């Protein structure tokens, strides 16, 4: 026999609810937990700050980002103007050896002599934040060889630049559609058709780019900055794969 409660306060979920205010200390902030795990919370070389004021109307970054502690909010805003989609360099992971992985939008440069002192200061601050490691940063550009980016990289005093020539999102999307169109149960030359989609080649190139990040971080003790070619998806894919390879936590 079931009893229908007379009052809303008699409902089980209401009557036996936990007092959130009393148990507030039991709730964790995932962002802060990750800072503690990566030892970025107590480090004097980094700080956390809100990205909302910089990326207003462009929600491509989370609410809070980690940047070198020597960089002011004003410098962040100016550096953001120099990066595609206002994606200023932000620290996303830290190795136990102190080397850092950072991500950003690609610099918006051309053959004109445009420079951003604030952006250059942010890159140098990332290099300086790894006092016990290499005094050079390795920049991975996911796109094809760009003479303008190569020329501008000379303004970063201690950096090495490498282009990974990853295909653009339109090429990858077309490759994915071709892959989905293959019916393995009815296709006689399934493997040949798989090769023709270039899907495996795309995956191989992406993994190779991530391995390049891993080698520089883990073996060379050198921080890495990753940016894509007018698209943030390449940056996030490379960084995510590198973090999975480097960090048993994931």
The dihedral over CA atoms of 76, 82, 85, 90, expressed in degrees to the nearest 10, equals -40
Q: Which two tokens stand for residue 182?
A: 């293959």
Q: pLDDT tens, 82-133? A: 988 888 999 999 998 889 999 999 888 876 667 899 999 999 988 887 766 6
Q: Does 22 score more than 70 pLDDT?
A: no
**Contact (Cβ atoms closer than 8 angstroms) between residue 118 and residue 107:** no
> Considering the entire predicted model, what is its pTM?
0.81
Q: pLDDT tens, 180-231? A: 888 777 777 888 888 999 999 999 999 999 999 999 999 999 999 999 876 6
pLDDT at 59: 52
- Per-residue burial over 166-180, b if 16 or more Cβ lie within 10 Å, else e, is bbbeeebeebeeebe
Residue 152 gets the label, from left (phi > 0), alpha (psi -120 to 50) or beta, of: alpha
| Cβ count near 109 (within 10 Å) | 20
pLDDT band at 58 (very low <50, low <70, confident <90, very high): very low
Q: Which two tokens stand for residue 189?
A: 């030359």
Distance CA 82, CA 29 (A): 32
Q: Average per-residue pLDDT in the chain?
A: 82
Eight-class DSSP state of 103: E
- Mean pLDDT over 44-67 rounds to 61
């Amino acid at each position: 026999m079931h009893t229908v409660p007379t009052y809303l306060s008699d409902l089980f979920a209401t009557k036996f609810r936990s007092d959130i205010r009393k148990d507030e200390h039991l709730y964790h902030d995932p962002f802060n937990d990750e800072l503690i795990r990566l030892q970025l919370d107590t480090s004097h070389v980094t700080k956390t700050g809100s990205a909302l004021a910089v990326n207003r109307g462009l929600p491509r970054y989370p609410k809070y980002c980690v940047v070198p502690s020597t960089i002011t909010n004003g410098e962040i805003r100016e550096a953001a103007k120099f990066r595609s989609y206002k994606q200023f360099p932000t620290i996303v992971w830290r190795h136990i050896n102190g080397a850092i992985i950072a991500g950003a939008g690609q610099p918006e440069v051309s053959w004109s002599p445009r420079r951003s002192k604030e952006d250059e200061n942010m890159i140098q601050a990332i290099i300086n934040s790894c006092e016990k490691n290499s005094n050079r940063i390795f920049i991975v550009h996911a796109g094809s060889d760009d003479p303008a980016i190569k020329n501008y990289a000379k303004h970063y005093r201690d950096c090495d630049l490498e282009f990974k020539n990853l295909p653009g999102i339109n090429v990858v999307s077309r490759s994915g559609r071709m892959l989905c169109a293959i019916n393995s149960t009815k296709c006689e030359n399934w493997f040949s058709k798989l090769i023709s989609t270039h899907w495996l080649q795309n995956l191989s190139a992406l993994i190779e780019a991530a391995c390049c990040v891993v080698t520089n971080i883990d073996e060379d003790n050198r921080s890495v900055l990753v940016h894509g070619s007018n698209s943030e998806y390449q940056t996030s894919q490379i960084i995510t794969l590198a973090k999975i390879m480097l960090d048993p936590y994931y």
